[in-house]
Amino acid sequence: MTRWSKLDTTWRGVLVRDVLEKARVKPAGKFVMAYSDGGYTTNLPLDVVLDDDVLLAHTYGGKPLEPDHGAPLRLLVPKRYFWKSAKFLRRVEVMSEDRMGFWELNGYHNDADPWKEQRHWF
């Protein structure tokens, strides 16, 4: 396990699945791009974002998110490395084809599964 991982944290928010259900995502939607302050982006397959533990998080450790944790809203994707959990979330786009986000364009692994140690492409 990577030294970047931190287990047993407590987050609260809204399930992304519930928000996207209300938005009535078209069947062509297969991927998601998250957009944050400063032009930061990160991409994920839609089926990962629809997991029952992926949140639009507003609370960490029982308190409202602080800037260090991505206030006011953070995409939280527990089964992926944290660069996929975009801080300072401003927008989510559902796409028919995958596009790489900021870190993926700079050599980080597109899938980012910590259990498979998928940090870098090389």
Instruction: Say which residue the tokens 């980080």 belong to.
Output: 108
pLDDT tens, residue by residue, 63-119: 999 998 899 999 999 887 677 889 999 999 999 999 998 888 888 766 666 665 656
Identify the CATH number of the domain in which residue 84 sits. 3.90.420.10
- Amino acid residing at 104: E
What's the confidence (pLDDT) of residue 2? 41
3-state secondary structure of 54: coil
Q: Residue 116 is encoded by which pair of tokens? A: 């498979």
Q: Is residue 24 part of a domain?
A: yes
Q: Which residues pair with 53 in a beta bridge?
A: none
Sheet holding 89-95, edge to edge: 41-45, 31-36, 89-95
The pLDDT, as a whole number, for residue 56 is: 96
> Please, are residues 65 and 71 in contact by the beta-carbon 8 Å criterion?
yes
Domain that includes residue 56, residue range = 11-116
Does the reported pTM lie above 0.75? yes
pLDDT in tens, 23-48: 999 999 999 999 999 999 999 999 99
Overall number of domains in the chain? 1
